[in-house]
């Protein structure tokens, strides 16, 4: 009751920047993945604020879907998924040993990388589901082959630790098929050692989005799609034939229009100067909100289906663009388009910044309003 009252009293605050997430696009991308891997389960990855899309918004879209797990990286992300959905959760990231007691073990499985983590989980003296992470070549973290017997011996001594899954991560799935096979071979070798020791893990997963596209092997029972879910291909050559639909659109509003005389500059250090008298529009979106400063003067916004170039240095909370005569203060302007190939699409923006779509997406400030 009090929650309803608070909702009624909450001001309907309008925002200048809005991220819109397409339900239809997310569900369309899921259908594509299911056609590619019809026999496999999916553990959708919602880490890093669901790749910038908003955990709560993606939960709203995924409600009613059937997934064994949703994947998060940290305890704050875990709390959001736990408190706002009924899904079970796979915690991908490591945490301090003293934090394990705060998790709801009925709905949680842990990716385990070390013997120390196993020891900490054993101290809970409760049933705990674990997915043992193999280091098959990335060499960031995980159990290496020579240490596996020690891990298995510990698990045999602590029956409350349920070895439910085996997992790893591909280091070059988007570029190197030979490396995929090498990692898969080592994974299977280590998996056989696990089974010979008397364990029968239900879940075996090594592939994220690129692996989902490349691996067709019934040995693996699940995949962890991230980028694909949101409508982007980790393998550029496969973009067009996959038919993915980017789910994110970013709009802002014009807050100022300035007349700039010929020869005058715009923004810090006057890096851009007007060759002719013009009007410049100011947008309340800068590097705090998510832009990389390496994009200075390279971005293109869209106004009424027409490209408008971003001008000068991107500021902390503002950026500027060339204004057409019809522009007015308060008008909407599209900063990120879901339409593949446009100059303000995520993939084109990433290319201009010499980075990857992941970085552009996850830099989008959590404080920006997101709507489905």
Which residues in the chain show pLDDT less than 70? 1-11
Within 8 A by CB and 6+ apart from 61, the residues are: 21, 23, 26, 27, 372
- The CATH number for 123's domain is 3.20.20.10
For residue 218, being part of any structural domain is answered with yes
- pLDDT for the residue numbered 176: 86
Rg of the Cα trace of the chain?
Answer: 24
Neighbours of 339 (CB within 10 A): 12
Let me know whether 288 and 172 are in one domain.
Answer: no
For residue 103, being part of any structural domain is answered with yes
Let me know whether 208 and 273 are in one domain.
Answer: no
Range of the domain at 222: 23-232
The answer to whether the CB of 207 falls within 8 A of the CB of 179 is no
Q: How many domains does the chain have?
A: 2
- pLDDT for the residue numbered 13: 81
List beta partners, residue 70.
Answer: 89
User: Quick one: tokens of 107?
Assistant: 């709905």
Q: Please tell me the total number of residues recorded for the chain in this structure.
A: 372
Let me know whether 226 and 301 are in one domain.
Answer: no
Q: pLDDT, tens digit, for every residue of 135-167?
A: 999 999 999 999 999 999 999 999 999 999 999
For residue 50, being part of any structural domain is answered with yes
Let me know whether 175 and 202 are in one domain.
Answer: yes
Return the residue matching tokens 């309003």.
369
Cα separation, 160 vs 212, in Å, equals 32
- pLDDT for the residue numbered 8: 60
- pLDDT for the residue numbered 241: 92
Instruction: Please say which residue of 203, 232, 261 terminates a domain.
Output: 232
Q: pLDDT, tens digit, for every residue of 1-30?
A: 556 666 666 667 889 999 999 999 999 999
Let me know whether 210 and 350 are in one domain.
Answer: no
Return the residue matching tokens 């983590």.
117
For residue 242, being part of any structural domain is answered with no
Let me know whether 87 and 204 are in one domain.
Answer: yes
């Amino acid at each position: 009751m009090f929650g309803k009252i608070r909702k009624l009293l909450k001001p309907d605050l309008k925002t200048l920047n809005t991220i819109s997430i397409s339900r239809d696009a997310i569900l369309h991308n899921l259908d594509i993945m299911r056609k590619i891997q019809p026999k496999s389960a999916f553990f959708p990855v919602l880490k890093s604020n669901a790749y910038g899309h908003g955990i709560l918004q993606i939960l709203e879209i995924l409600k009613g879907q059937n997934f064994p797990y949703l994947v998060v990286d940290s305890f704050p992300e875990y709390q959001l998924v736990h408190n706002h959905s009924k899904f079970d959760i796979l915690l991908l990231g490591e945490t301090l040993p003293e934090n394990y007691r705060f998790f709801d073990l009925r709905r949680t499985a842990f990716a385990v990388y070390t013997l120390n983590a196993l020891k900490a989980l054993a101290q809970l003296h409760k049933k705990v589901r674990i997915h043992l992470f193999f280091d098959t070549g990335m060499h960031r973290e995980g159990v290496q082959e020579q240490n596996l017997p020690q891990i298995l011996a510990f698990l045999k001594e602590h029956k409350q630790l349920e070895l439910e899954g085996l997992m790893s991560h591909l280091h070059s799935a988007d570029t190197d098929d030979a490396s995929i096979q090498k990692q898969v071979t080592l994974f299977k070798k280590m998996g056989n050692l696990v089974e010979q020791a008397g364990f029968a893990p239900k879940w075996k997963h090594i592939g994220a989005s690129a692996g989902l596209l490349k691996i067709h092997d019934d040995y693996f029972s699940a995949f962890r799609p991230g980028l694909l879910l949101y409508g982007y291909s980790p393998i550029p050559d496969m973009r067009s034939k996959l038919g993915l639909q980017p789910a994110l659109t970013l709009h802002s509003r014009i807050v100022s229009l300035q007349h700039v005389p010929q020869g005058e500059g715009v923004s810090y250090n006057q890096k851009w100067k007007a060759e002719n008298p013009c009007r410049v529009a100011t947008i309340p979106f800068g590097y705090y909100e998510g832009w990389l400063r390496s994009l200075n003067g390279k971005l293109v916004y869209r106004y009424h289906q027409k490209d408008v170039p971003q001008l000068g240095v991107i500021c902390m909370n503002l950026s500027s663009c060339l204004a057409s005569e019809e522009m007015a203060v308060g008008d909407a302007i599209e900063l990120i388009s879901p339409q593949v190939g446009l100059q303000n699409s995520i993939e084109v923006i990433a290319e201009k910044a010499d980075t990857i779509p992941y970085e552009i997406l996850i830099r989008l400030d959590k404080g920006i309003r997101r709507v489905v």
